[in-house]
Amino acid sequence: MLNCHGVANPYKSNGYEDVAAEFIAGRGRNSSGVGASVVADWSQTLPSGATVLDLGCGTGVPISQALIERGFKVYGVDASPTIVAAFRARFPSVPVECAAVEDSDFFARTFDGVVAWGLFFLLDPEVQLGLIKKVAGVLQSGGRLLFTAPNESGSWPDVMTGRCQFSLGYEEYRKALEAEGMLLVGTHRDEGENHYYLAQKM
Ligand SMILES: C[S@@+](CC[C@H](N)C(=O)[O-])C[C@H]1O[C@@H](n2cnc3c(N)ncnc32)[C@H](O)[C@@H]1O
């Protein structure tokens, strides 16, 4: 695969390794960035001190940070080495793996919660479906999933990377979750017009 500079890029970060410096300097510096309060509210549905897997964790600011500050045990996975280095510098005691979510074994353990802010729609549709199956496999019974993706189906360019993004849309996400034993328990839209899917493993 060639990156935007025409150079072979071995990372499966969907273009984020190429824009890592810009990403870290922007979203990576805003502790109260979009999504933090929604994730903080969602975390109240988890047992105290629960384990949470943050997929496409970025620098950890603000999503992992909101969970760490509330006493949750966070594990991160992200495919961009530069962005993972920023995560490690900010949260040195938090386990984080530099890997594509489609390749990771998710620390070979189970979780009470899984969060994926700004990740699903970066992935090809079949990879998204495979990820829903993988998440179902590591969520404990009663465990909760929060991910962002539009309500509508369609594709559009990522403002940072210019790459194509894909939303399966509400009905396809609902069906895919149910097929893997997860119930869509709610949706939410935030001040930045991000749309959230809230699911629970049966
Ligand atoms: C829009 S950013 C969101 C980051 C973080 N969740 C946040 O809220 O700031 C998307 C992140 O997903 C990561 N990413 C993209 N494709 C990935 C993949 N296949 N596996 C793991 N991480 C991926 C990127 O490196 C980037 O850090």
Ligand 1, atom 16: closest residue by C-alpha = 13
For 100-135, letters b (16+ CB in 10 Å) and e give bbeebebbeeebbbbbbbbbbbbbebebbbebbebb
Q: Could you count the other beta carbons within 10 Å of the beta carbon of residue 140?
A: 14
Percentage of residues in the chain with pLDDT exceeding 90?
90
Ligand 1, atom 14: closest residue by C-alpha = 13
Fold of 20-201: Rossmann fold (3.40.50)
| E strand segments, the chain | 51-55, 73-78, 96-98, 111-116, 139-148, 154-157, 164-167, 182-189, 195-201
> So what's the pLDDT on residue 9?
60
Residue 118 DSSP class: S
Q: What is the pLDDT of residues 167-182, one digit of tens each?
A: 999 999 999 999 999 9
Please give the distance, rounded to the nearest whole angstrom, from the Cα atom of residue 119 to the centre of ligand 1.
Answer: 5
Which pTM does this prediction carry?
0.95
In the chain, domain spans: 20-201
CB 9 within 8 A of CB 3: yes
Count of all residues that appear for the chain in the document: 202
